[in-house]
């Protein structure tokens, strides 16, 4: 059994279409679905956005499914370095938490080297390019290039999300193998337009979006690019997950 953690449904929508026998999870206090990837049972857990929501979802998931053999943190991430563009895959070799862009990492979790090597070989065999490096889990959205570059300088991470560290910590506490595969949605100097307009499940609040665009009308022109980046990232992520997931475990 593999636990696959993601923040909101759109992140894994393309990958979901690769899975068979999809059905909702049977527990009311967990959002997501159960499915099959070949002979492998996959439980996909929607955490919501942010470290606190991810920690709560991971706690419940590991309590309810103690037989999990592998946990995967997945979804989209922001680039912290010039070498990454929308759609690029990042296979984390370590995960860290940072209070803000100017501080050093508070906690660091290293991904098992043997597992990392095996998953890297699977991505190579599928002809998928990827970068390996640190994944920073930030406590809030990093607003633009200045903050992102500062976070890179202070942590050495190559990409940023808001959930992975909480999931990795819970997996480590239970002795469950953990890995993180994410796809880049924005370049280091790009700002994620309206990043604060979604609720914890990633759905856009119409009221908040209307108010935001009235205050920032120029951002309306940036939305098509952001949505194109999201589409590119989720398609790439689907290919990556298809490559690393076993079909007979």
Q: Which residues are within 8 A (CB) of 146 and not within 5 positions of it... i.e. 6 or more apart?
A: none
Domain extents in the chain: 2-244
Percent of the chain with pLDDT over 90: 70
Question: To the nearest whole number, what is the mean pLDDT of the chain?
Answer: 88
Model confidence at 244, in pLDDT bands (50, 70, 90)?
Answer: very high
> What is the pLDDT at residue 200?
47
* Of 43-52, 56-65, 92-101, 172-181, minimum mean pLDDT range: 92-101
* pLDDT: which is higher, 220 or 110: 110
Q: Dihedral of the CA atoms 153, 6, 1, 35 (nearest 10)?
A: -150
Average pLDDT on 25-29 reads 87
Domain 2-244 in CATH: superfamily? Nucleoside phosphorylase domain (3.40.50.1580)
Model confidence at 133, in pLDDT bands (50, 70, 90)?
Answer: very high
Structure token digits, residue 135: 């994944």
pLDDT at 201 over 50: no
> What is the pLDDT at residue 29?
86
Model confidence at 202, in pLDDT bands (50, 70, 90)?
Answer: very low
CB 133 within 8 A of CB 164: no
Report the distance separating Cα 70 and Cα 117, nearest Å: 15
Span 15-25, pLDDT tens digits: 999 999 999 99
């Amino acid at each position: 059994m593999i636990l696959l953690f993601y923040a909101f449904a759109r992140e894994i929508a393309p990958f979901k279409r690769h899975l068979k026998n999809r059905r909702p999870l049977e527990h009311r206090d967990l959002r997501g679905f159960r499915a099959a990837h070949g002979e492998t049972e996959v439980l996909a857990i929607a955490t919501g956005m942010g470290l606190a929501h991810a920690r709560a979802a991971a706690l419940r998931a590991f309590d309810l499914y103690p037989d999990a053999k592998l946990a995967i943190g997945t979804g989209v991430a922001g680039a912290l370095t010039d070498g990454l563009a929308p759609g690029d895959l990042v296979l984390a070799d370590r995960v860290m938490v940072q209070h803000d862009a100017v501080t050093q990492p508070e906690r660091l979790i290293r991904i098992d080297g043997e597992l990392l090597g095996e998953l890297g070989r699977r991505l190579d065999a599928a002809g998928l390019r990827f970068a390996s490096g640190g994944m920073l889990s930030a406590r809030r959205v990093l607003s633009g290039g200045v903050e992102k570059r500062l976070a890179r300088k202070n942590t050495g991470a190559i990409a940023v999300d808001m959930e992975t560290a909480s999931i990795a910590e819970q997996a480590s506490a239970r002795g469950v193998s953990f890995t993180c595969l994410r796809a880049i949605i924005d370049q280091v100097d790009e700002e994620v337009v309206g990043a604060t307009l979604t609720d914890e499940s990633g759905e856009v609040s119409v009221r908040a979006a209307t108010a935001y665009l009235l205050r920032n009308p120029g951002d309306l022109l940036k939305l098509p690019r952001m949505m194109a980046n999201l589409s590119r990232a989720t398609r790439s992520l689907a290919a990556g997950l298809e490559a690393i997931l076993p079909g007979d475990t």
